[in-house]
Amino acid sequence: MKSYLLIPLFFLYLGCTSPPLPVFPTTEGICPKSDLFVLSQPEIDVQTGNDLVGIYCKANITPIGFEWEISLVFRDEIHPSTWKDFFYRIYRRIRYGRNYDIESFLVRLEPDGKTFQLDLKNVYSGDQIFQEDPVVHKDRILSSSLLENRNSLPILYVNTWNHMFGEKDNNPELSKQEIQISEFRFGSRSQLDGYFGTY
């Protein structure tokens, strides 16, 4: 490959910065402040620039009760391999127009108001570990009773570098940073996708 052909790729790589996080007009569907769960993320993921920077939520009423659509926004999604990350970053810039990694799932509240189900469609880790490559996006519905607890709050583990979640810690050898998920910005995943797609 001619070296001059790499120049546009290099500038695309350098120019892959994300726009500011949006603030959407508040309408119906606001999620109230609620001590929902604790997110446990490997410290190495945070230290490399993949920290959690925003939590969006849109509440919906369904035929079976209340459902919250939660979108966790991580600052980035840096691949553990430097050379793979270079090309992965270019792909993400073209595909998503952002560095942010946005992972969304549903929380279905039980009638008791204390327990819930997590619908981790396309964001469930299974047994995969942090350095897994490639990572398979799995599906799973978890009852909050299946999650470990910390100070009476269920824990959701970030198990892979691209932020797939699970009910157990697949990386016990890695130090963790824990974040209590309780306050939300208003917004749905479709609003977030629309904002970044038109930015």
Provide the pLDDT for residue 51. 96
pLDDT tier at 198, thresholds 50, 70, 90:
low
Measured distance CA(147)–CA(189) in Å, rounded: 24
Provide the pLDDT for residue 2. 54
Q: Over the stretch 96-137, which tens digit does the pLDDT of each residue have?
A: 778 899 999 999 988 877 789 999 999 999 999 999 999 999
φ, ψ for residue 180, nearest 5 deg: -80, 125
Measured distance CA(182)–CA(180) in Å, rounded: 6
Tokens of 49: 């620039």
Measured distance CA(72)–CA(1) in Å, rounded: 39
Domain limits, the chain: 37-197
Provide the pLDDT for residue 6. 47
Measured distance CA(150)–CA(148) in Å, rounded: 7
CA distances from 107 to 46, 68, 117, 161, 164 (A): 24, 5, 6, 23, 16
pLDDT tier at 10, thresholds 50, 70, 90:
very low
Measured distance CA(135)–CA(143) in Å, rounded: 24
Chain-centroid distance of CA 87 in Å reads 21
Longest CA span, the chain:
64
Tokens of 102: 């946005």
For residues 140 and 13, the model is more confident at 140
DSSP-assigned beta bridge partners for residue 13 = none
b/e sequence 78-112, b meaning 16+ C-beta within 10 Å: bbbeeeebeeebbebbeebbbbbbbbbbbbbbeee
Provide the pLDDT for residue 101. 94
Q: Over the stretch 138-187, which tens digit does the pLDDT of each residue have?
A: 999 999 999 999 888 999 999 999 999 999 999 999 999 999 998 899 99
